[in-house]
Chains A and B, each alone.
Chain A
Amino acid sequence: MKVLIADDDSVTALALAGMLESAGHQVTTVDNGLAASKMIAGERFQVVIADWVMPEMDGPELCRYIRDHESDHYIYVMLLTGRALADDRVAGLRAGADDFLTKPFDRAEIVARLGVAERILNMEQQLREANRTIERTRRYEIEIGAHIQRALLMAQPPLGPSAFTFAAMNIPSSQIDGDFFDFFSHEEGIVDVFIGDAMGKGVPAALVAAGAKSYLIRGFASLLKCGGQEDLPSPVAIVQHAHDGLAKEFIAIGSFVTLCYLRLDATAGIATYVDCGHTKSIRWDNNSQRATILKGGNFPIGFVDLETYQEYTTPLDEGDLFCLYSDGVTEAAAPDGELFGIQRLLDLIDKLHAEEPALILSTVREAVRAHTTARSLEDDFTCVLVRVGKPTQPWRRREAEFPSSLNSLANIRRFVKSAAADCHLDDRQIEEMEIAAHEATTNAMLHGQRNQPSDPIRLTAERIEGGMRLTLVYRGVEFEPGRVAPIDFESPKESGMGMFIIEKSLTDVQYSRTPEGENRVTMTKRSG
């Protein structure tokens, strides 16, 4: 071994060097601690033997210097002392010494102690090698994970003319996370966007995320096959399909995936979303000129076995902006631990909503970077922005589903109003169509379904010659208009009032029931 002796007593140093050289070690001597510290900086010594008392820098100081200065190898330090007191030894050990040599020397003891040093240094070297191997493997896995993330988990926004403008960004952290997102572009004016995050970090998280994304895509494809091209599978059906296929596997490996699945239907003026414990997505409402949070109450995918997912709807208008993001945005921490938080994101969207999504996204990214002041991210930064524009093709048929709840009435009226306006009905006719739809859907919820939201209300708007046809479809108690008594304005009872309002508001209304047990109310309104 290469041994450095630091002792101002040249006789002792010579004696020690002679002993060690005769035992096969390569020895260098210096006469003070400062000279030793300089020597160590330039040469690779495995063992340093330092006298306790020396000028310039004593033995314990030299120990501390060695321990405070990182080296690519461990330096075994032995303090040379006539002191045998326990307190001195404790002080030496605290300074970083590994062993002590007590004067006068015993050759056999010194050689044996150097043998111990060699054994420990060998073990330390093996440990470093093992750590290097682990680090190489980890880096390789990160590269693979990063590749998986780039190739499989992220996606390019749809290209070509569209009712939407997109911007998407993923900046991987130093560790791979399980962030993912994708887009399904349907007919003109309809797009699905989803963003997710698998629990944990590293390649396992990336693989879980890849599995979840794959199930969402497979679910969409298989449900579409069942329903036919005309009938897009609902977001909740797609999410439920993924959960049902993955829950047991995820629970078995102790993982889960948070997700927000959003369908934007610019033709129907409806956004439908399923939130599965993901960071809350944001909608900039161009009508009210304020940002709102899209709230949902589902568990993440695979968090519990038997989860029944719910979807929610919110109106959609030209100029609206939707922001889906990962926790790497809002949970980015400043040096003092303060998180970036959702309020800062809301404020930025509030301030920049009129800008191009790409510009908003890069501004958000810079704000997060400035907040953290860090060079690399703790978490992946993933963010998707979608601006709603005007559909480039006129629609012929619009369809939307609403939970069977009186809370849906505002959205239903909005859907009807938007569709009626596109069918060139005048303001009065639009209002009458809204009133009729309001009455019909209220009756369906309160009487047909007894306000049971498990079966949704489905509305289909169609352009017809000179007006609009609105079909309400719901499951529940059969409605038989012939059994409803004619309205009696003299009676305090309200029986028949709903039917009366509907008939008076429309050009035509038809009630029917399919063999499958679906009730249909077909409402027609013509201009003129």
Chain B
Amino acid sequence: MRRENEPPDTHPSYDRHGLDGVCDGNEALRRRILVEFVRTAPGQVQQLLERLTEGSREEAQRIAHTLKGSSRTVGAFVLGDLCERIELGAGDLARERAQIGEELERVRREVERHLESIP
């Protein structure tokens, strides 16, 4: 939960309060979800990039869809939006391919930093 006196999260890549509605104060659950994200997201991004390189459009869309869901669940909305654009083929794919790795890295750092603060 966002505390009243706490300033809003200034980093747009990861919202630490994204899981508040899910966890409802259950910090152990928050930790498990974030750990799972950090464990699985890099592999998914890796697979996504490989499928895009191979031109496996359908498989790439499916992976983008899955990663979009997990990103938004934890509060990584920028990464989620990037995945959605890849999934829908709505944006500049070359630019999104270039951005997704960097964006994941930003999110991962923020999440790990957050994890350190969770008891």
Does B40 lie within 8 Å of A11, measured CB to CB?
Answer: yes
Nearest-neighbour CB distance to chain A for B4, whole angstroms, equals: 20
Does A15 lie within 8 Å of B68, measured CB to CB?
Answer: no
B66: nearest residue on chain A (CB-CB)? A9
Q: A11-B36, A11-B74 are in contact. Are A103 and B69 (CB under 8 A)?
A: yes
Does A55 lie within 8 Å of B68, measured CB to CB?
Answer: no
A80-133 with Cβ < 8 A to chain B: 82, 103-108
Does B21 lie within 8 Å of A22, measured CB to CB?
Answer: no
Does B24 lie within 8 Å of A22, measured CB to CB?
Answer: yes
Instruction: Check A297 for interface membership: any CB of B closer than 8 A.
Output: no
Does B68 lie within 8 Å of A82, measured CB to CB?
Answer: yes
Does B70 lie within 8 Å of A107, measured CB to CB?
Answer: no
Q: A103-B72, A105-B73 are in contact. Are A15 and B65 (CB under 8 A)?
A: no
Q: A11-B70, A11-B73, A18-B29 are in contact. Are A106 and B21 (CB under 8 A)?
A: yes
Nearest-neighbour CB distance to chain A for B15, whole angstroms, equals: 11
Does A22 lie within 8 Å of B26, measured CB to CB?
Answer: yes
Nearest-neighbour CB distance to chain A for B26, whole angstroms, equals: 6
Contacts of B70 in A (CB 8 A): 9-12
Residue in A10, A22, A53, A55 whose beta carbon sits within 8 Å of that of B36 in the complex: A10
Instruction: Check B32 for interface membership: any CB of A closer than 8 A.
Output: yes
B40: nearest residue on chain A (CB-CB)? A10
Q: Give Cα A14–Cα B39 distance, bound, in whole angstroms.
A: 13
Instruction: Check A19 for interface membership: any CB of B closer than 8 A.
Output: yes
Contacts of A108 in B (CB 8 A): 21
B25-71 with Cβ < 8 A to chain A: 26, 29, 32-33, 36-37, 40-41, 62, 65-70
A80: nearest residue on chain B (CB-CB)? B69
Contacts of A18 in B (CB 8 A): 22-23, 26, 29, 32-33
A103: nearest residue on chain B (CB-CB)? B69
Contacts of A11 in B (CB 8 A): 33, 36-37, 40-41, 69-70, 73-74
Instruction: Check A8 for interface membership: any CB of B closer than 8 A.
Output: yes
Nearest-neighbour CB distance to chain B for A268, whole angstroms, equals: 92
Does B66 lie within 8 Å of A15, measured CB to CB?
Answer: no
Does A12 lie within 8 Å of B69, measured CB to CB?
Answer: yes
Contacts of B19 in A (CB 8 A): 15
B25: nearest residue on chain A (CB-CB)? A22
Nearest-neighbour CB distance to chain B for A332, whole angstroms, equals: 56
Nearest-neighbour CB distance to chain A for B114, whole angstroms, equals: 15
Q: Give Cα A12–Cα B32 distance, bound, in whole angstroms.
A: 11
Interface size class of A (residues with CB under 8 A): 20 to 34
Q: Give Cα A7–Cα B23 distance, bound, in whole angstroms.
A: 19
Contacts of A22 in B (CB 8 A): 24, 26, 29
B63: nearest residue on chain A (CB-CB)? A8
Does B40 lie within 8 Å of A12, measured CB to CB?
Answer: no
Q: Mark A44-71, 1 if CB is under 8 A from B, else 0.
A: 0000000101010000000000000000
Q: Mark A14-58, 1 if CB is under 8 A from B, else 0.
A: 110011001000000000000000000000000000010101000
Contacts of B40 in A (CB 8 A): 10-11
A8: nearest residue on chain B (CB-CB)? B66
Contacts of B37 in A (CB 8 A): 11
A391-430 with Cβ < 8 A to chain B: none
Q: Considering residues A8, A12, A103, A106, which has the most beta carbons from chain B within 10 angstroms of its beta carbon?
A: A12
Q: Mark A169-202, 1 if CB is under 8 A from B, else 0.
A: 0000000000000000000000000000000000
Does A15 lie within 8 Å of B73, measured CB to CB?
Answer: yes
Q: Give Cα A53–Cα B87 distance, bound, in whole angstroms.
A: 12
Q: Give Cα A8–Cα B62 distance, bound, in whole angstroms.
A: 10
Does A105 lie within 8 Å of B22, measured CB to CB?
Answer: yes
Nearest-neighbour CB distance to chain A for B104, whole angstroms, equals: 13
Nearest-neighbour CB distance to chain A for B37, whole angstroms, equals: 5
Q: Give Cα A167–Cα B67 distance, bound, in whole angstroms.
A: 79
Q: Give Cα A106–Cα B18 distance, bound, in whole angstroms.
A: 11
Nearest-neighbour CB distance to chain A for B71, whole angstroms, equals: 8
Contacts of B29 in A (CB 8 A): 15, 18, 22
Does B21 lie within 8 Å of A14, measured CB to CB?
Answer: no
Does B65 lie within 8 Å of A19, measured CB to CB?
Answer: no
Contacts of A106 in B (CB 8 A): 21
Q: Give Cα A495–Cα B36 distance, bound, in whole angstroms.
A: 124
Q: Give Cα A12–Cα B76 distance, bound, in whole angstroms.
A: 13
Q: Give Cα A284–Cα B7 distance, bound, in whole angstroms.
A: 105
Q: Give Cα A18–Cα B26 distance, bound, in whole angstroms.
A: 9
A110: nearest residue on chain B (CB-CB)? B22
Does A19 lie within 8 Å of B22, measured CB to CB?
Answer: yes
Q: Considering residues B40, B62, B65, B73, which has the most beta carbons from chain A within 10 angstroms of its beta carbon?
A: B73
Does B68 lie within 8 Å of A53, measured CB to CB?
Answer: no
Does B68 lie within 8 Å of A107, measured CB to CB?
Answer: no
Q: Give Cα A106–Cα B22 distance, bound, in whole angstroms.
A: 7
Cross-chain pairs A/B with CB under 8 angstroms, 29 sampled: A9-B67, A10-B40, A11-B37, A11-B40, A11-B69, A11-B73, A12-B70, A14-B32, A14-B36, A15-B19, A15-B22, A18-B22, A18-B23, A18-B26, A19-B24, A22-B24, A22-B29, A53-B65, A53-B66, A55-B62, A82-B69, A82-B72, A103-B69, A103-B72, A103-B73, A104-B18, A105-B22, A105-B73, A107-B21
**Known interface pairs A9-B73, A12-B69, A15-B33; 9 further A-B residue pairs with C-beta atoms within 8 A, sorted by A's residue number:** A10-B70, A11-B41, A22-B26, A55-B62, A103-B69, A103-B73, A104-B21, A105-B73, A106-B21
Enumerate the 10 nearest inter-chain pairs by beta-carbon distance, A residue then B residue, closest first: A11-B70, A18-B29, A9-B69, A9-B66, A15-B22, A11-B37, A12-B69, A9-B70, A12-B73, A53-B65
